[in-house]
Amino acid sequence: MRLILASASPRRRDLLAQAGLTFTVQTADIDESLRTGEDPVTYTTRLAREKAAAVFAKLDNTADVIVLAADTTVAIDDHILGKPADAADAARMLRLLQGRKHQVMTGVALMSADETKVHCETTDVFFAPMTEEEIAGYIAGGEPMDKAGAYGIQGRAARWITRIEGDYANVVGLPLAATCNLLHRMG
């Protein structure tokens, strides 16, 4: 089987390489707008499925191909925090997260000519309190701007993460154990 990653995320590429998987990358361009009434699990799994379908539809030959797509979101009190629009939005998100527990959810979709498998992994993340100066300094470094919830656990934000309950790789952007299990189960 040939594996295609439907994601431009360097973190997902690194995680798949870390797992020893061989793959190519083909990105999907879909509308990622939240739909009325969607909860975080429904949202992330829908986006993963739509990304996989968009890439699969572009393929000339779908024999022996599996398309892997994923979408990660951060939620606090069932409120979805996407990627920040600007520095003020990043500060707002970090203020919401600091000193509290929140969830990171990654929807994973695997699509072949014969079947589609979808999974959502949830990890609880506990954030330490942050001062306004720490929030401003973190944002000034630019790290939060392309990440759901305005932080990356694998970067400078790690200093404020006191504990996680669940899969660390999920918080980075792809639950490796669950993804490899799904791949193993694909025909």
- Per-residue pLDDT tens for 30-66? 999 999 999 999 999 999 999 999 999 999 988 999 9
Tell me the average pLDDT across 110-126. 97
Per annotation, catalytic residue among 14, 39, 64, 71: 71
116: Cα separation from own chain's centroid: 19
The full set of domain ranges for the chain reads 2-185
pLDDT of residue 174: 98
**Cα–Cα–Cα angle for 140, 141, 142, rounded to 5 degrees:** 90
Give 131-167 pLDDT, tens digit per residue: 999 999 999 999 999 899 999 999 999 999 999 999 9
Token representation of residue 35? 């739909």
Phi, psi of 163 (to 5 degrees): -170, 150
Contact yes or no for 159/98 (Cβ under 8 A): no
Residue 115 tokens read as: 């079947």
What confidence score (pLDDT) does residue 167 get?
98
pLDDT at 187 over 80: no
Q: Spelled out in words, what is the top-level CATH class assigned to the domain 2-185? A: alpha beta
Establish whether 71 is a catalytic residue. Answer: yes
pLDDT averaged over the chain?
A: 96
pLDDT at 120 over 80: yes
* pTM of the model as a whole: 0.93
Return phi, psi of residue 88, to 5°.
Answer: -65, -40
Could you give the CA distance from residue 174 to residue 108 in angstroms, rounded to a whole number?
Answer: 8
CA separation for the pair 88, 85 (Å, rounded) = 8
Cβ-based neighbour number of residue 19 at 10 Å = 15
Mean per-residue pLDDT, 99-123:
97
